[in-house]
Every structure is written in structure tokens, then in C-alpha cells.
């Protein structure tokens, strides 16, 4: 039994755009890229359904951010703020000379 493959978004978009061009039949594209024709039809439909969202104001969805990453970045910002505060207090007496 064959293992199910996961294709990246760029690959799907490229294949769907080629299918939309209509220069070659879906069966030819499926043979070339090694995917089932039904998948190409689904990708083509998804591309057409989502194309209008690109032109909507704020149409792009913000990237999901990992909470752990946010916490570590906030901690780093805190450390840098403390260091800036410390250095600015230490440099004030020297600046008057």
C-alpha cells in the first residue's frame, strides 16, 4: 500500500495554475506531477474560491504564532529593557563631562 504524500502549498498552487491555463489536460498534468486528477481538480477549485480573498482589505490571515515563542520573545524584550535602563543610568553621569 502506498503512503499518502503531503504536498506543500507552493506545489499545489503551481499545479492548479497550470490546470487553469488550460494548455494541457488535467490527466497530462496528473501524470507529469504524479498526483491523481481529482486532487488537481480540488486544488484548482480551492484556488478559484480563495483568489478573491487576496484582494480584500486584510484578506490575508495572520500567521499563527506559537505561545511558547511569544513568551520567550516577551522575556527577551524584558531583559533588553532592563539592560537599556541600567546602561542609560550609568551613562548619564559621564555625559555631563
Determine the 3-state secondary structure of 7 from DSSP: coil
- Same-domain status, 47 and 84: no
- 90/96: higher pLDDT: 90
Q: What is the CATH number of the domain that holds 49?
A: 1.10.10
Residue 96 has pLDDT above 60, yes or no: no
- Cut 0.85: pTM above it: no
- Same-domain status, 30 and 71: no
Distance from the Cα of residue 73 to its chain's centroid: 20
Q: Does any domain span residue 60?
A: no
- The stretch 4-23 carries a mean pLDDT of 92
Segment holding 34, helix H or strand E: none
Segment holding 64, helix H or strand E: none
Domain residue limits at 25: 1-55
Q: Can you say whether residue 34 is alpha, beta or left, with left for phi > 0 and alpha for psi between -120 and 50 degrees?
A: left
| Cβ pair 18, 29 in contact under 8 A | yes
- Same-domain status, 78 and 37: no
Q: Which pLDDT band holds residue 61 (cuts at 50, 70, 90)?
A: low
- Same-domain status, 2 and 34: yes
Q: Does any domain span residue 21?
A: yes
Tell me the three cell numbers of residue 32.
507529469
Amino acid at each position: 500500500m502506498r503512503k499518502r504524500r503531503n504536498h506543500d502549498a507552493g506545489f499545489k498552487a503551481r499545479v492548479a495554475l497550470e490546470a487553469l491555463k488550460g494548455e494541457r489536460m488535467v490527466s497530462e498534468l496528473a501524470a507529469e506531477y504524479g498526483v491523481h486528477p481529482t486532487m488537481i481538480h480540488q486544488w484548482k477549485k480551492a484556488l478559484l474560491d480563495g483568489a478573491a480573498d487576496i484582494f480584500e482589505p486584510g484578506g490575508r490571515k495572520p500567521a499563527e504564532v506559537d505561545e511558547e515563542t511569544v513568551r520567550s520573545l516577551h522575556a527577551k524584550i524584558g531583559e533588553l529593557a532592563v539592560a537599556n535602563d541600567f546602561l542609560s543610568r550609568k551613562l548619564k553621569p559621564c555625559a555631563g563631562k
